Structures are given as C-alpha cells and as structure tokens.
Amino acid sequence: MTNQTLLPPGWKRPKGYANGIAARGTMVFTAGVVGWDGNEQFAEGGIAAQFRQILHNTLAILAEAGARAEHIVRMTWYVTDRDAYVAALGEIGAAYRELIGRHYPAMAVVEVAALVEREALIEIETIAVVPD
C-alpha cells in the first residue's frame, strides 16, 4: 500500500501539507533535528539556512532505514520566532520543494519560547513509513 492522503469530502485542499495520511509499513522516527551539520556547527543565514540543513539531516537519518522523502507521513516543526518563520516562508518553501519535492505529509508548526540548543531557530521531528 502506498500512503493515502486523507481529505474529507467538501473540505478545501490544504496548501503545503495534508490533513492526514494513512500508511502501512515500517515506521521510522527521527528525534528533534536541528540545523547543524555532523560536527554540530549550525548553518549560518537564519531560519531558512537552518531549515535547509535540517532537511539534509532528516533525509540522511531516514536513508539509514531505507526511507526516502516520499515516505514521510508526519512532520512537527518547532520555531522560536513565528514572525521570522513567516518572513522566510519563500526560502523555506523553495528548500522544501528542492529537497523533499511536492510531497506534503501531515504537518504542524508550533512556536516555542526556546529550544534546548541555544543557537537553534527551528527543530523538526519526522515520522516516515516505508511500505512493506
């Protein structure tokens, strides 16, 4: 079974995310991933640069379990500054489409007071399901 996007009848189609996903297979979970490289050096250039690094990191983690971008079913994004996030949406969207494509899982974006890593502007948890 491939992932099934859930859209109740009569609902407007969401842009950039899915209301829900049904999937069957091996579940793969990432920890909260921040925008640093393998040497724990944060990407410079603000939230969009950290976001791009997070996607690279996330895809590398998923690949260890044989998962690819199209297997992502859920992402939860934690941002420390909603206004900075909204201001960077153009760059964030471009990075997302470049690295993930036009695959839109169920998503939530939550503004938080701070993240444990002081330099982190964004942290993302991801769930993927690799089909059986």
Predicted confidence pLDDT, tens digits, the chain (132 residues): 478 899 899 999 998 899 899 999 999 999 999 999 999 999 999 999 999 999 999 999 999 999 999 999 999 999 999 999 999 999 999 999 999 999 999 999 999 999 999 999 999 999 999 998
Cut 0.85: pTM above it: yes
Predicted confidence at residue 113, as pLDDT, reads 98
Q: Assign residue 69 a region: left if phi > 0, alpha if psi is -120 to 50, beta otherwise?
A: alpha
Domain assignments of the chain as residue spans, ordered by start: 4-130
- The token duo for 30 is 């990432």
Predicted confidence at residue 132, as pLDDT, reads 87
Q: Was domain 4-130 assigned CATH 3.30.1330.40?
A: yes
Distance CA 124, CA 87 (A): 18
First-residue to last-residue Cα distance in the chain: 8
